[in-house]
């Protein structure tokens, strides 16, 4: 596919994502959060819709998260933007050369991803950050279509156990019992020359407790860069 056609098709897919209303529980939750807000963001207009994917259509690195945060992506309209998880992620991507700046504040902040595309298992903020299995299944088709369009991907980084499990199911056509268990830094060779890397999610639960440190996250993306440069 020509680069310009790929870009146009991904834009169209993101428009479908933004207009999705397949999960009544998520629709009700994301819209209620956008109406009620929280005190620190009271003056802001919340996005309150499914959050589209973001990045370079010619990316060789695919980052897969779980879902937008209620007062992060659900507020700003950009994945991993406006919360502490995103702060950690974009600083690490910047240090590895995949982002033009170390922070992502809002959709108009000028951030550009280089050779990197970020998506999520589900595109709506779920209550308590816990999507239901049917909600994961409803969003699965979007991820499958993205992967088909992002035909230059060489490395996929899954942030957290759920993202790792879904990435294996979607990316590994072999569907065998040889699939690895999730762990930070675990690697698995997939079909089509793609390497899947597991990483702890940069959630506050992990970063505040020290389960995930910045050097640990930096190692994931420096390893991804090495695999891309030296397949």
What tens digit of pLDDT does each residue of 28-70 get? Answer: 999 999 999 999 999 999 999 999 999 999 999 999 999 999 9
User: Which runs of consecutive H residues, i.e. helices, occur in 19-129?
Assistant: 24-36, 73-76, 84-95
CA distance 167 to 65: 10
The token pair that represents 173 in the structure block: 């056509």
205 touches 79 (CB < 8 A): no
Query: What's the pLDDT band for 8 if we cut at 50, 70, 90?
Result: confident
- Residue 194: pLDDT over 80: yes
CATH code: domain 3-229 is 3.40.470.10
Q: What is the pTM of this model?
A: 0.95
- Pairwise pLDDT comparison (153 vs 230), residue with the higher score: 153
pLDDT at 144: 93
Query: What's the pLDDT band for 180 if we cut at 50, 70, 90?
Result: confident
- Residue 174: pLDDT over 70: no
Percent share of the chain, pLDDT over 90:
88
- Residue 5: pLDDT over 90: no
153 touches 197 (CB < 8 A): no
Percent share of the chain, pLDDT over 70:
96
User: Which runs of consecutive H residues, i.e. helices, occur in the chain?
Assistant: 3-18, 24-36, 73-76, 84-95, 133-149, 161-171, 204-207, 214-229
Residue 187, strand partner residues? 197
**Structure-token match 């995949």, residue found:** 98
**Structure-token match 């998880």, residue found:** 85
64: nearest Cα among 4, 6, 142, 127: 142
């Amino acid at each position: 596919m020509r680069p310009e056609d790929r870009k146009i098709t991904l834009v169209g897919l993101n428009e479908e994502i933004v207009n999705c209303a397949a999960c009544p529980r998520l629709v009700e939750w994301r819209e209620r959060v956008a109406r009620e807000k929280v005190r620190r963001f009271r003056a802001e207009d919340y996005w309150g819709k499914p959050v589209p994917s973001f990045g370079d259509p010619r990316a060789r690195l695919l980052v897969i998260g779980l879902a937008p945060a209620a007062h992060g992506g659900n507020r700003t309209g950009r994945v991993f933007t406006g919360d502490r998880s995103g702060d950690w992620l974009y600083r690490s991507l910047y240090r590895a050369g995949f982002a033009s700046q170390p922070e992502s504040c809002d959709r108009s902040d000028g951030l550009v991803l280089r050779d990197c595309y970020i998506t999520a298992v589900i595109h709506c903020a779920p209550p308590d950050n816990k999507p239901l299995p049917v909600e994961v299944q409803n969003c699965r088709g979007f991820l499958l279509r993205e992967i088909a369009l992002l035909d230059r991907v060489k490395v996929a980084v899954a942030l957290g156990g759920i993202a790792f499990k879904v990435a294996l199911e979607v990316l590994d056509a072999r569907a065998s019992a040889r699939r690895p268990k999730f762990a930070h830094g675990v690697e698995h060779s997939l079909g089509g020359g793609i390497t899947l890397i597991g990483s702890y999610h940069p959630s506050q639960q992990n970063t505040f407790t020290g389960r995930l440190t910045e050097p640990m996250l930096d190692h994931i993306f420096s390893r991804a860069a090495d695999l891309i440069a030296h397949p």
